[in-house]
Amino acid sequence: MKLFVVGNISAGKSYFIEKIKPILPNYYILKIDEYRKQHCDGSLEKEMLMWTEFPKEIMKHQDAIVELSGGGKVADNIINLLEDNSFLVVYIDADVNTCIERSKTKNFSETPYPKEFKESIGDTINRLSLDFENQIYTKWAKALNIIKVKSSDDPIKLALKQYHELFKLKYVLRNIKGSLFTFGSTGRGMMNNSSDVDTYFLTKESKENLYQNLAKEFDSVHIMQDEFVIRENDVLLEMNYINDIKDAYYFYSTGFITNPSKTILKDDFGIIDDLVKASKMEPNKKEIVDFTIERLDYYVESLKRLILKDDDYKYYFHNNIVVHEYIRLKAFLKDEFAYNYLPHNAKQYLTEEEWKNILYSFGDDKELHYKNVREMSDEIIKIVKNKYTNF
């Protein structure tokens, strides 16, 4: 992965990179001012040569962290060499006054900026600040994601390991014909350091050949039906194997993807129109509600049979499914269908009394528990049906 750390002069780019190093310890570090010190002499001629040579140096490294302001001709040349969605940007946001104050403690004479550049550091900072406000997201639009942070933020909270593994997957699949794309929080560009990496790979390649390629490069690879489960560096990466793009429609459409073009890492089949179509599909709320009610009722009734069988473990297991479906219905009552398979912050949907009555622990009175759960389920099913009767 190529990770560009950009921001104003004295925004804290170098400081932030030092905090990134332990997270990505094998990355090559490239800093534009260090490159200037080695290859420039203060002449405009050498500066202009640097604008083309520094980007070439970056391209020599598969995994690199690159520090630069992010503006100017050198940034244009870097971006021109990169493919869409082939890199990540971390933008260090800092107010102008902070940058100016920090700059007063630095010796800029050690860096051979061209003598023709007469602009003061303060004026440069002010100009760059305006450029960042107006251009950072358009200039670096080819990035898979632009993550905005403060230099004081902790990079351990960012999904840097996740993005590293995602770009590694792209590299491993580079010679296999197919289309690799993301969904879920990965597709929304909202991953954090605890996120799984959710992907689809559309291909005609056999699962066996894919497994051989993946197993050579990743520590742990398992196939679960049509899903490759990859674990490396405390990251879980799931790659769903599909032969037809329509097989991705359901989960892609329920993932609230706002920019399908930013979910595609590799595309040999031209899938963008299909992904745009899928992203605009409205979930069929009535089908989701009806299916959830059916599952809740089925598993609640199964508890009665398991009491007769005196099967404590299966009773415990089935009741956990009851809890899950009950929470989903509570979410639907608030018109929250996002992430409906596993609602966010699910604990909030139930009162303390509801939690007390619906949860089951070994040794509890199953007859009393079943009575409470049956009453709770009947009540919520009645309310949900009434709310969605016109769907």
Q: Residue 37 and residue 33: Cα distance in Å, rounded?
A: 6
By three-state DSSP, how is residue 202 classified?
strand
Tell me if 142 sits within 8 A of 2, measured CB to CB.
Answer: no
CATH number of 2-157: 3.40.50.300
List Cβ neighbours of 12 (8 Å cut-off, separation of 6 or more): 92, 94, 102, 150, 151, 152
Neighbouring CB atoms inside 10 A of 361's CB total: 8
Backbone φ and ψ for 4, nearest 5 degrees, come out as -100, 120
Tell me if 16 sits within 8 A of 151, measured CB to CB.
Answer: yes
Residue ranges matching CATH 3.40.50.300 in the chain: 2-157
Residue ranges matching CATH 1.20.120 in the chain: 285-387
Tokens for 80, please give them: 């021109």
pLDDT tens-place string over residues 180-223: 999 999 999 999 999 999 999 999 999 999 999 999 999 999 99
Class of domain 160-279: alpha beta
- Angle, CA of 371, 373 and 377, to the nearest 5°: 120
pLDDT of residue 139: 94
pLDDT of residue 390: 60
pLDDT tens-place string over residues 122-157: 999 999 898 887 788 999 999 999 999 999 999 999
**Pick from 199, 302, 188: which is nearest to 242 by CA?**
199
Q: Which fold has domain 285-387?
A: Four Helix Bundle (Hemerythrin (Met), subunit A) (1.20.120)
H/E element holding 164?
A: helix 160-172
Residue ranges matching CATH 3.30.460.10 in the chain: 160-279
C-alpha 140: how far from chain center: 18
pLDDT of residue 339: 66
pLDDT of residue 282: 81
pLDDT of residue 130: 86
Tokens for 271, please give them: 């899938």
Tokens for 227, please give them: 């899903």
Mean pLDDT by 10 residues, the chain (391 residues): 97 98 98 96 95 98 97 95 98 95 91 82 90 86 97 97 98 98 95 96 97 96 96 96 96 90 98 97 86 96 96 97 96 82 82 96 96 97 86 51
